[in-house]
Chains A and B, each alone.
Chain A
């Protein structure tokens, strides 16, 4: 009897154990399968776009990682590496156009490549997400369809900007519009990349909001005029020094549209333009936004070490205005600004420090900047955020400040340049830029005047503008001669690991 009870017990246990079918078949814990996005809820449609903005404003991937910033800007003659000689000496090799094994082995090389392409990757995914939302827009709902197109255009702007940046550093690079072929994609030439940007902006500009970013529906998002400026910049890169190039027409047309809209105005105070009062001003056409939410503690959304790496080195006696000392304004730019009497720009571009650790220089905003044992007395002034503008309680340098990318003055100066190159009068836009910093207006402006103004206006910024201007105007050979410029080394080599992973990049 007990034997049969035992057998019955055993068999029932077996059956019990194997009966629940979904014991093995459940989704993984703590993940949100992509399928859970409700594409029918069109109020969620901006979310993928917001995600791309956030990705772009981060470091890895993103546009503001400190080594990436240094790598794209250091080749201009407005910036020296800064800090001590042996600190990130690879940057000096890059500055001296030595594309040798040492540069190949530099850790920042692959870093900046993957950071930019990471943004392009996520932008492509966001576009696919927007397509999925688009499938659920009812026929006849023009409002939502227009919004969907506008959102796609915003993402395409960021993707195009990523390609602009990566091509400025590496030259011939692949255009990534389809993530499925990421392992095989081939290289495109510099011209093809710029043409891609122009084409993208042609398709996007009208879909974007006709407002300035400051007044956009999502405050700070890119708008029609941001796209036009990007298009103009790409066109100027193709046009180069050829005054007869049809691309100068594109530049002229795009910048004329921006100016004619009458929506943009230069911010009056150039010094404060880069500080708290100048955040998302009427001049801004694209800005990376950050926030400390006005709180003295808690979350602080910041661009990683972007500000810290440019802050003044040495013992700053507890002041938040401190950092690692990179991105130092060069003696050349200081001399240039001094000679042309450009005081406001000089005061904005350069942050002066004491001659040694016990002496200090007080800035016009009331911060005492002490010296350091290295003897470096100049630091990047455009990254400077005065302590009295910071939210009380915050100690991170640059907390709550934005990173300026595109400004209206760029459109004005490109407009002036295009006009002069086409034999027209370029005085009006040039003088708007000059008057903002209390410089005397010029009549009968020449190309040199415009190019000098560009040099002064964008000195020591973070997008490689000066180096790009020298390359496209053919001035690099002379101006950068003492750094050893050769056109063979004008771009950095594609990182070895990328060539290993995708032989089409050889």
Chain B
């Protein structure tokens, strides 16, 4: 008996020695992403005792094998590890921010990134805030593959965003969903307000948005508090200066005079002679040398912005509050600036266990003084041969601006640009509220949930445009002051109801979402104008002037939509993934009321398979494919019936017997040419690969997409009577590859990352409903659409050189019968070799769609410093330099210096540019490849240098960051216009460069404080 007891004791002690024996283990605790050791991490054992990591993140602790250690550190998700056999323990803690990164916002919900079957880009919001742009979409330029952002220069202007090429000639912009509300642009948001931005690029991701989704969807959630969160305060502000970059130099006085004299006509030389007589000069070189753009632009226009946000949460309530202010001066030296301030408030409360209520409101207020952009166009045309002001122009009042008629110009396009910019007052005050309320109900535990959300948009803009009484010359004058007052009101709402069921059995996980959505958008504009308004601003009301019989107008639209949608997801062991969605959309805009948009996506996570286990080359590899249909209702709403044109503008004047005045007899005309327009339907296939390699350092994805747009809606020129007719006329396909690659690594204190994206695009028209081809764009330099070629390619002659001498002209068969052709004229290619130059020799001279768009970025950090550089560019697109081609109507206009000084002036001088005299002859202004230039460019989009430091200790640290940024500092391009980014309404959207607003670079200094 006693022996047994001793044996028992012996065994237990030996055994407990084996299992319960205390040992010392060591290890390091690191951040899972940056791989830096984390100091001060609390390590606690199950008995409550513990230790901490040292400055290098290393620790040493005595444990028994049955112990489990819990690692806690502020801002990181805690981890518990069972010690077991291990002697050395390396723990990677995931920061809470990164844990969130794994969750991606998708349509009507969130999903784990690895479970997606669609290419959803989760935008790094951190890099967004680095850019000093007023609009968050502008800040995205170049960072996301497949997304092309084209900006104009003016303050307060929205960029054009194209996702995966141009599938539509109408609204190209994606759908923006901000906290559940559908909006057309996100001008009102400040980048600092954004918590999360996801871009749904392809059908299976975006199809859940149905008829609005064809151009892609950008989902934005603004910052929210979290339950049980210590109050956090964040301030960010910057001050910057903008100045024009890559300015086009216009010809100066001497160069312009030389061009005019070279034309050898009396009329052209007279401008030079008159200028010398009036403003001085030497021989045939005038002294007057006005740089109109220089006069119009102001250097170092200031810009500053401040944002403050506070968020926090208790057990039952969380909240977030934000305020920001932006003040941006424009670069035109006249009244133009943009001021905006936003307030944002969000609150969520857990009313009952099963009910959560939330409320969000954005309030923004802005004042925009718009410059008269016509002044820039005038500056392009204006002759340098007269000064800005002229005391001899005695009739001019209130300012003595010079008039171009004094040296012989007599058309409105030669008006004084500085005067035009000066006599302009155009102010818009806008006010917008976006309130949203929602309720989240847990019907059955965690499985069945219901959410209802009502979001609204209420906006009101008031614009007044005042032209004072002034006189410069006969054509540039306003006898009476004029006021136009415009009021726009927007009231939109959207009401979503979502029912979600999530469940799992063993390794099978699935969820079902059922949704219902109702929305209505209303816009109404009321406009009144009157003449002879008093000069002080307080009197700018139209009833204080002379009423104009036609000085009023109203316009408005109402669009309503009703949708039912469903999504099902299924995965087995997170390895085999399936997503299917379906949406039925009803829209009031078109004659076809209902559209149906299904999609399906499949995914296969190869690294979860057995055959890829145990290797450490590939950390993650997923293959995915999807198909879906989306609709685009950004097409003009269509009446679908003949319309009356009524009112005074369509009424004839009768009774005009001398010397009396006539009066109206009411009349109308009927516009009977119309089409039944429906939305465009995009059908898309996508195949992709996502991978992470080399120890999480290399991440990337490759996608191939093919999008076919059915029923492309655009304007076709009408036969005989001119004008255009809008309708669904064709099918077009966009296809291409998207590549995304990112590498990040650390070498001790030095960390670096390099990333890039590239998208290739091939655009081809597939069907035109039996029509052989369609012409569009401008009538003299048109674009053409036909099956098998890109949409709206430029169509004209190919220029192969310049006639250097008369003999060359005589030997060329195509000049037979044209006695006006002289040396210095373009040589057009006789494409079909028949010896005649006619319409059959016109050919494809380029497309405005880029073949590749790309961006790449580099980031470095060393101790507390960090530097990032972002590049962006595109290649393969052509631009029709309409500014240069405008010379066909006004051959005496000024031009860019490169053109004016390179003109042909003798045999052998150039084989590219025509002679000065040639620029007065219509023969050289036919649609040709001379006017169509390459629009490829590479731009340094952003450079930011920052320094981070912390003040205070441990939990209550205040983090500081000081940074300097250069935005758009340089662009490399061969294009001879102001900017190769050509966008806008009408023909500008087809690649015709009519832009004259110079692009500016911003240099700024800022600070961010987080507590």
Q: A residues within 8 Å of B by Cβ?
A: 2-3, 6-7, 10, 13-14, 17-18, 23-37, 46-55, 57, 60-61, 83-90, 93, 98, 100-107, 110-111, 113-115, 117-118, 120-122, 125-126, 128-129, 174, 176, 179, 182-183, 185, 214, 218-221, 275-281, 287, 289-299, 301, 313-318, 322-325, 357, 372-374, 389, 391, 393, 395, 400, 402, 495-502
Contact = CB atoms under 8 A, between A and B. Distances in A.
Interface stretch (B172-180, B260-268, B429-437): B260-268
19 contacts: A6-B450, A24-B561, A33-B642, A36-B644, A54-B651, A93-B820, A98-B819, A100-B818, A107-B780, A107-B889, A174-B720, A220-B655, A289-B655, A294-B661, A297-B531, A299-B550, A313-B410, A373-B270, A497-B717
A115 B721 CA distance: 7
Interface in B805-835: 817-820
Nearest to B717: A501
Given A219-B657, A299-B550, A29 B586 contact: no
Contacts of A7: 443
Contacts of B670: 34, 48, 122, 125-126, 128-129
Interface stretch (B30-38, B362-370, B760-768, B920-928): B920-928
B720 A279 contact: no
Given A86-B263, A287-B656, A395-B477, 9 more contacts: A47-B667, A50-B666, A57-B653, A86-B265, A122-B670, A219-B662, A221-B654, A297-B548, A315-B403
B21 interface: no
B496 to A, nearest CB: 10
B334 to A, nearest CB: 25
A18 B354 CA distance: 27
A50 B652 contact: yes
Contact of B657 (A13, A218, A279): A279
A502 B719 contact: yes
B283 interface: no
Given A18-B562, A51-B650, A54-B651, A6 B443 contact: yes
B554 A30 contact: yes
Contacts of B673: 179
Nearest to A291: B662
Contacts of B668: 37, 47-48, 50-51
B672 A315 contact: no
A209 to B, nearest CB: 13
B480 interface: yes
Contact of B837 (A24, A35, A36, A101): A101
Given A54-B667, A86-B267, A220-B656, A293 B661 contact: yes
Contacts of A57: 652-653
Given A54-B653, A294-B661, A395-B477, A17 B410 contact: no
Interface in B64-114: none
A32 B562 contact: no
B473 interface: yes
Given A46-B665, A107-B888, A280 B643 contact: no
B479 A395 contact: yes
A496 B890 CA distance: 22
Contacts of A322: 474
Interface in B710-724: 717-723
B400 interface: no
A83 B410 contact: yes
A281 B660 CA distance: 12
Contact of A24 (B555, B588, B669, B819): B588
Contacts of A218: 654, 665
Task: Give me the 7 closest cross-chain CB pairs, A-B, nearest first.
Answer: A50-B667, A114-B722, A102-B922, A279-B658, A84-B267, A53-B652, A51-B667
Contacts of B558: 26, 29
Nearest to B395: A318
Nearest to B781: A105
A471 B927 CA distance: 33
A496 B839 CA distance: 8
A85 B266 contact: yes
Contact of A500 (B265, B532, B667, B775): B775
A47 B450 CA distance: 59
A108 B769 CA distance: 32
B641 A34 contact: yes
A86 B891 contact: yes
Interface string B543-580: 00011111100111110111000000000000000000
A123 to B, nearest CB: 10
Interface in B648-703: 648-663, 665-670, 672-673
Given A316-B474, A501-B775, A3 B444 contact: yes
Contacts of B268: 84-86
A278 B657 CA distance: 8
A10 B782 contact: no
A10 B500 CA distance: 12
Nearest to B277: A373
A299 B551 contact: yes
A294 B661 CA distance: 6
Contact of A121 (B638, B655, B721, B922): B721
A17 B452 CA distance: 13
Contacts of B405: 313-315
B645 interface: yes
A314 B410 contact: yes
B396 to A, nearest CB: 10
Given A103-B922, A118-B721, A501-B775, A32 B643 contact: yes
B650 A279 contact: no
Nearest to B518: A17
B346 to A, nearest CB: 24
B516 interface: yes
Nearest to A287: B656
A24 B516 contact: no
Contacts of B650: 50-51, 54-55
A175 B642 CA distance: 24
A193 to B, nearest CB: 15
A449 B818 CA distance: 39
Contact of B497 (A14, A32, A101, A121): A14
Interface string B788-818: 0000000000000000000000000000011
Nearest to A322: B474
A29 to B, nearest CB: 5
A176 to B, nearest CB: 6
A33 B640 CA distance: 9
A182 B718 CA distance: 9
A312 to B, nearest CB: 10
B645 A51 contact: yes
A337 B889 CA distance: 34
Contacts of B554: 30
Contacts of A128: 670
